[in-house]
Amino acid sequence: MSHTTRAGTIRDLASAVADRLPPGRGIPLARDLALVAESAPPSPPPVWTDADAIVLAACFAARARRDALAEGSALVTRYFDGVHLVRPGTLSSGVRSQLYASAGEYCNAIGWPQMGARFGTQAALFADTEPLQYRALSVAALGHALNGEYPAAATDLSDAESLFEERGWATGETSYLVLLAEALVASARLDVERLRRAARRMTLVQPDDPYLAFSALALNAMAKMFEGDFGAGRAACRRLLNGSGRYTSHRMVRFFLVCVLSDIMVAQGDHDDALTTLEPFENPEGHGVCFSMQRSAALLRRGRERDLLAETEACVASGADHCLRTLTPILVRRAIAWSRLGSPRRARDTMEAGLLLLVRTGGSATPFLMLPREETRALIEAAVAEHPDLRPMRSRLTAAIEQVGVPDAHAGPASAAVALTPTERNMVSRLGTPLSLSEIARERGVSVNTVKSQVRSIYRKLGVRTRTEAVEQLTGKLR
């Protein structure tokens, strides 16, 4: 096939993909998405025309949907300065809306939600049909939800869902971005039923799409964490991250799973395991998933306050370039670290900054996940006393801490029996889970006999005879 013929074929495929990105004409074919995602991105023309812009719009969308994200933000800045094309164009409103929406979808996929939301908002301004308006709203909804701007995300979602229902488009054309935004809003509210409902919708919308199937399973794993079913949640995360399904999944969703897994490990007292799990990962542009934030949870629980401050220093310095959703918990954890290091003023100011960010974004309980209740509450009281505008949030913050925080003395099951060896301390965190001894052995990569031997040693040191007695004793010592 000649270069000219191939270029023509890609343009035809891109046109077919772009035509089906908004609802009303079916969904893009998986084969077409794959071919466009694998093709070289178009060179910026001297002057953008509708035909050129459609090819680029399809390129951005296909790469987002088929997880072809290797070029990161460089692909966006190749064509845009902010949300403006770096070269002039004579584009119709509808095509401009398509291009902005696709660029926003790609930005969300790489973890750059600030730009995703901006592109989505721009796409809505130029949308001249209801299908284009729905697509723009879906991009903006996910960008706002990823950035922690939950009131804006809720408005986008409501408008998008109402429009979809009024127009009577086929269920299979429901935007994946809408469902993912719905899940993020649900997780911020710790609304497990809403989270599971989003997962169920993913399986119904496009039952043969492996990307949506993987995402649905990931949401259910997250729900298990919120329900406190840590053993099942941990096992589900490992199955998804290590199974063959990961090859047809979105990077953002895999990153979320790694974060859920590390949160569960921290909840179970396996702080070092959490840090080991997070070690290979670097923060994506925009920090829509922030591994520094994830590490800070384990570092705080390990009493490594100075390491926590060093790990998150660049995040704080990035300011508005950092995702607000992941910046808020960083500020809260840094406040606790400063307090422990004997800097009450810095602790109060940092907590105040975190709480003001919560006010700005509409509030969420997740920044307080696994934090020591009394320490956190004391710092909040100090910040509220200094900044009276925060007083209306006090009761809601207190309820959030009670729901997702942990007792101050809680340092994980490992603290319950100081006579245990490091291996045994690692084992006790699993005794309170539904996992069988065989499943624990598989998870740890050891034989069942090894696990049984360690469990017998733990029973002997605790002076108990059964697993139930051991769990009761360990739980009692943690109160």
Write the CATH number for 430. 1.10.10.10
Taking the C-alpha atoms of residue 467 and residue 449, their distance in angstroms, rounded to an integer, is 16
Alpha helices in 46-89 (DSSP H): 50-65, 73-77
> 400: closest CA among 425, 373, 365?
365
The residues near 92 (Cβ < 8 Å, ≥ 6 apart) are 50
Taking the C-alpha atoms of residue 315 and residue 244, their distance in angstroms, rounded to an integer, is 33
Helices 291-301/271-278 angle, 10° precision: 160
**Placement of tokens 């006579």 in the chain:** 419
Asked whether residue 461 is domain-assigned, the answer is yes
Answer yes or no: do 72 and 28 share one domain: yes
3-state secondary structure of 89: strand
Asked whether residue 16 is domain-assigned, the answer is yes
> For 204-247, what is each residue's pLDDT tens digit?
999 999 999 999 999 999 999 988 899 999 999 999 999 999 99
- pLDDT confidence of residue 281: 93
> 308: closest CA among 296, 297, 318?
296
Contact yes or no for 333/444 (Cβ under 8 A): no
| Element containing residue 72 per DSSP (H, E) | none
Q: Which residues of the chain have pLDDT under 50?
A: 1-5, 410-418, 477-479
Answer yes or no: do 115 and 196 share one domain: no
Answer yes or no: do 250 and 179 share one domain: no
Answer yes or no: do 157 and 77 share one domain: yes
CATH of the domain at 71: 1.25.40
Answer yes or no: do 362 and 427 share one domain: no
Asked whether residue 110 is domain-assigned, the answer is yes
Q: Which two tokens stand for residue 124?
A: 């809505």
Answer yes or no: do 168 and 130 share one domain: yes
3-state secondary structure of 406: strand
Alpha helices in 362-466 (DSSP H): 373-386, 394-404, 422-431, 437-444, 448-462
Taking the C-alpha atoms of residue 163 and residue 157, their distance in angstroms, rounded to an integer, is 10
Amino acid at position 12, single letter: D
Taking the C-alpha atoms of residue 119 and residue 144, their distance in angstroms, rounded to an integer, is 11
Answer yes or no: do 34 and 172 share one domain: yes
Asked whether residue 122 is domain-assigned, the answer is yes
> For 120-158, what is each residue's pLDDT tens digit?
999 999 999 999 999 999 999 999 999 999 999 999 999
Answer yes or no: do 172 and 242 share one domain: no
- pLDDT confidence of residue 479: 37
- pLDDT confidence of residue 4: 46
Answer yes or no: do 399 and 450 share one domain: no
- pLDDT confidence of residue 464: 74
Taking the C-alpha atoms of residue 252 and residue 36, their distance in angstroms, rounded to an integer, is 20
Domain, as residue range, for 242: 190-268
Q: Which two tokens stand for residue 273?
A: 């395991």
The per-type count for the chain, helices as H runs and strands as E runs, is: 24, 2
**C-alpha distances out from residue 48 to 55, 79, 91, 115, 124, Å:** 11, 10, 7, 21, 20
Answer yes or no: do 376 and 417 share one domain: no
Asked whether residue 278 is domain-assigned, the answer is no
Q: Which two tokens stand for residue 63?
A: 């790469």
> Which residues, listed in sequence order, are joined to residue 80 by a DSSP beta bridge?
85
What is the phi/psi pair of residue 48, to 5°? Answer: -75, 130
Asked whether residue 195 is domain-assigned, the answer is yes
Single out the residue in 367, 387, 404 at which a domain terminates.
Answer: 404
Answer yes or no: do 181 and 195 share one domain: no
Domain count, the chain: 4
Taking the C-alpha atoms of residue 323 and residue 437, their distance in angstroms, rounded to an integer, is 41
Single out the residue in 404, 434, 468 at which a domain terminates.
Answer: 404
Residue 9 burial (CB count, 10 A) = 13
Single out the residue in 404, 425, 441 at which a domain terminates.
Answer: 404
3-state secondary structure of 58: helix
Asked whether residue 276 is domain-assigned, the answer is no
Answer yes or no: do 26 and 159 share one domain: yes
- pLDDT confidence of residue 411: 40
> 157: closest CA among 126, 181, 193, 132?
181
Asked whether residue 280 is domain-assigned, the answer is no
- pLDDT confidence of residue 28: 95
3-class secondary structure for 341-379?
Answer: CCCHHHHHHHHHHHHHHHHHHCCCCHHHCCCEHHHHHHH
The residues near 174 (Cβ < 8 Å, ≥ 6 apart) are 23, 164, 201, 205
